[in-house]
């Protein structure tokens, strides 16, 4: 039986939610990942170091006994952010600030309305060595939803990188050939996370044969040409600039299957297996370890993890649903198989 042993990965983009949700979300990530960068878009958002450290304690309290999982905390960037807040965050050990353009995705109502007014804050991030995590979409209603990432690159990302060239930026959950190209052509201060859904699915998987709400995420899935461009990016000559970030985002089944159909895919249950499937399909399994376990740690300035996990080439059937906050949670690939299994 084929096996693959890799350094234990890190998830550099993860939504755990809060309260009772942590009893479901935390254990699934902790059994696969050593560390995870925790997104701050709670209600209310995590906007201060005190908020982040309190949230971290709630996450740690939900860990299974004996787990050594480490949450890496972030702050939600708002229009009220100041250089002094950046310095306070640095002193508190906060890993990064997260940009949500106002209205771009789930719980982004408190997001930034004009990033260029926060240039002094970004300059202080560059001085302090705090990372800037970017949800890269414009929210102009005149821009087609499939073009929002590309428009963001031209309107926001390139001008900001020109204004603050030392800023260390992670272009989160990229979905387009244009985003992959920007990362490849930028300096060593720019990297990107890529999700399993954007490596395995395209927009047909949302719309063909009926609307599939559990495949709806933001940024939305794109054309097959873009999916292929992402595969080429994570396996190609500049693959060291790309790393694992699931953007695993749980929503109760009833919230996904209703008139508003909230955005988010819960992939944490079989995250490493899904990535292994994508890399295997690309004939690049040998590059999975760097993507999952080394590139992100290096960019964040963290040591590589000392333990390993082993994947077995053995199909597993993903459950149709999981208990979640009194309701149900539908995981990615629900009711279907994944070609690999992590040996626990």
Binding residues for substrate: 15-17, 41, 135, 218, 251, 263
Query: Which is the catalytic residue, given 11, 109, 147, 247?
Result: 247
Q: How far apart are CA 40 and CA 97, in angstroms?
A: 9
Q: How many CB atoms lie within 10 A of CB 213?
A: 18
Beta-ladder partners of 193: 243
HSE on the CB side for 201, CA within 13 Å? Answer: 23
Whether the Cβ atoms of residue 35 and residue 303 lie closer than 8 Å to each other: no
Residues in the annotated binding site: 13, 15-17, 41, 98, 135, 173, 218, 247, 251, 263
Distances (CA, A) of 162 to 11, 134, 154: 29, 16, 12
Q: Burial level of 254, CB count in 10 A (0-12/13-18/19+)? A: exposed
Give residue for tokens 């990530």: 29
Which one, of 133, 155, 157, lies nearest residue 142 by Cα? 155
Which pairing describes strands 35-38 and 3-7: parallel, antiparallel, or unpaired?
A: unpaired
CA dihedral sign of residues 159, 133, 197, 289: positive
* Rounded-to-integer distance, Cα 263 and Cα 251, Å: 8
Q: Binding site for Zn(2+), residues?
A: 13, 15, 98, 135, 173, 247
Any catalytic annotation for residue 247? Answer: yes
Helix (H, G, I), strand (E, B) or coil at 63: coil
Tokens of 320: 């149709």
List active site positions.
247
């Amino acid at each position: 039986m084929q096996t693959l042993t890799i350094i234990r990965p890190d998830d550099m983009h993860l939504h755990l939610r809060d309260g009772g949700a942590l009893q479901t979300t935390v254990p699934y990530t902790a059994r696969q990942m050593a560390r995870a960068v925790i997104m701050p878009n709670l209600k209310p958002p995590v906007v201060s170091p005190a908020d982040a450290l309190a949230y971290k304690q709630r996450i740690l309290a939900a860990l299974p006994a004996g787990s050594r999982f480490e949450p890496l905390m972030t702050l939600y960037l708002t229009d009220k952010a100041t250089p002094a807040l950046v310095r306070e965050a640095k002193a508190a050990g906060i890993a990064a600030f997260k940009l949500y353009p106002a209205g771009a995705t789930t719980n982004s109502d408190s997001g930034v309305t004009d990033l260029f007014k926060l240039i002094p804050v970004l300059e202080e991030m560059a001085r302090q060595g705090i990372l800037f995590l970017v949800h890269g979409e414009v929210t102009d209603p005149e821009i087609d939803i499939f073009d929002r990432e590309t428009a963001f690159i031209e309107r926001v990302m390139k001008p900001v990188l020109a204004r603050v060239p030392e800023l260390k930026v992670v272009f989160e959950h990229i979905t387009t050939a244009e985003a992959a190209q920007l990362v490849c052509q930028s300096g060593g201060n720019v990297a990107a996370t890529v999700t399993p859904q954007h490596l395995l699915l395209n927009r047909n998987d949302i719309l063909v044969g009926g609307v599939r709400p559990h495949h709806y995420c933001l940024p939305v899935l794109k054309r097959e040409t873009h999916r292929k461009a992402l595969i080429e990016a994570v396996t190609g000559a500049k693959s060291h600039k790309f790393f694992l970030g699931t953007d695993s985002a749980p929503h109760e089944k009833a919230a996904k299957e209703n008139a508003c159909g909230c955005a988010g895919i819960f992939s944490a249950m079989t995250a490493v297996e899904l990535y292994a499937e994508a890399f295997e399909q690309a004939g690049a399994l040998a590059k999975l370890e760097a993507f999952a376990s080394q590139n992100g740690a290096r960019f964040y300035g963290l040591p590589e993890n000392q333990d390993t996990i082993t994947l077995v080439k053995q199909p597993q059937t993903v459950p149709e649903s999981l208990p979640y906050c009194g309701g149900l949670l539908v995981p990615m690939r629900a009711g279907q198989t994944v070609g690999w299994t992590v040996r626990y």
